[in-house]
Amino acid sequence: MHFDILTLFPEIFRGPLDESILKRAQESGRLTVALHNIRDYASGKHRITDDLPYGGGGGMVMKPEPIFAAVEAILAGETGVPIILLSPQGRLFTQAVAVELARYRRIVLICGRYEGVDERVREHLATDEISIGDYVLTGGELAALVIVDAVTRLLPGVLGDPGATFDDSHARGLLEGPHYTRPAVFRGWAVPEVLLSGNHAAIVRWRREQALRRTFERRPDLLERAELTAQDREFLARLKREKADTDGYKPLGPHKEPPLEHVSKSS
């Protein structure tokens, strides 16, 4: 996979790309990344990349000309390459989107800064627009790194153990349960007995139930799309009953101090 990343801050990428799996993926040639400074494609003595918003209002807007010039120079007429604008208004980045992107040979990522980019980039240059979630970043660079990371680990040969990506699909749609390693007892906290039992079938079932329980408690929305067996559904029905049985009997928790103005001056 080749990524062309357009940014005003290429240095942001160097650290993350030069460590661990992304570094190894580049050393093996499975990942290549070209960082392009948008400023290099701006014209004029000052190489200005942003300007005031038409219609007034706060902040600055990234000018279209340097971004168009950069993409046109980089692609040199090559077609069929997705040109992805990173923006808070984009479609949500999920594992399904990562899988979709991993099928391409080359991807262009455009990182915005300031209040945003001129709408004509979105309308007439970008072929896709992606957000990584509902929180506010200072620019698209960290979002671009998230995409490079999530897509790269899906490329054949990037993860040493092909079982690791198989696991993604095996447990697809569920949160993972707990993992343990040695020692068997740490500060008095023992590893669940079943994991030391040697009973493989019991271990498989226990892990599945842990994943189901955690998903039920933390991300019940995921259960609607998860692939569940009849046995899974029975277990979830039990969790639901247990929850209904204890609902309304929650411990009250610590009492709050009364507001100061209600505390008598003599006390």
**Residues carrying an active site annotation:** 88, 115, 153, 168
Beta strands in the chain (DSSP E): 2-7, 32-37, 50-51, 61-62, 83-92, 106-111, 128-131, 185-186, 189-190
d(CA 40, CA 125): 19
Nearer to ligand 9D3, 88 or 177 (CB): 88
Binding span for ligand 9D3 by CB under 6 A among 6-14, 126-134, 227-235, 254-262: 126-134
As given in the structure block, the two tokens for residue 107 are 């991807």
Q: Which of residues 223-242 bind ligand 9D3 (CB under 6 A)?
A: none
* 61: contact with ligand 9D3 by CB under 6 A: no
For 102, residues 6+ apart whose C-beta sits below 8 A from its C-beta are: 1, 151, 154, 155
Q: How far is CA 249 from the centre of its chain?
A: 37
Residue 19 in the binding site for ligand 9D3 (CB under 6 A): no
Cα separation, 144 vs 128, in Å, equals 13
> Torsions phi, psi of 31, nearest 5?
-125, 130
Stretch that binds ligand 9D3, among 33-41, 42-50, 60-68, 125-133 (CB under 6 A): 125-133
For ligand 9D3, the binding residues in 138-167 under the rule CB under 6 A are 139-140, 143
- The residues near 176 (Cβ < 8 Å, ≥ 6 apart) are 211, 214
- Number of Cβ within 10 Å of residue 43's Cβ equals 11
- If one asks whether residue 53 binds ligand 9D3 (CB under 6 A), the answer comes out as no
Residue 9 or 206 with smaller CB distance to ligand 9D3: 9
- Using CB under 6 A, pick the residue from 21, 69, 98, 137 that binds ligand 9D3: 137
Residue 86 in contact with ligand 9D3, rule: CB under 6 A:
yes
Q: Which is nearer to ligand 9D3, 143 or 212 (CB)?
A: 143
Residue 131 is a binding residue for ligand 9D3 (CB under 6 A): yes
Min separation Cβ 137 and ligand 9D3, Å: 4
49 touching ligand 9D3, by CB under 6 A: no
Q: Which of 76, 96, 136, 185 binds ligand 9D3 (CB under 6 A)?
A: 136
Q: Using CB under 6 A, pick the residue from 7, 87, 152, 215 that binds ligand 9D3.
A: 87
Q: Binder to ligand 9D3 among 112, 152, 158, 208 (CB under 6 A)?
A: 112
Q: Report the interface residues with ligand 9D3, using CB under 6 A.
A: 86-88, 112, 115-116, 131-133, 135-137, 139-140, 143
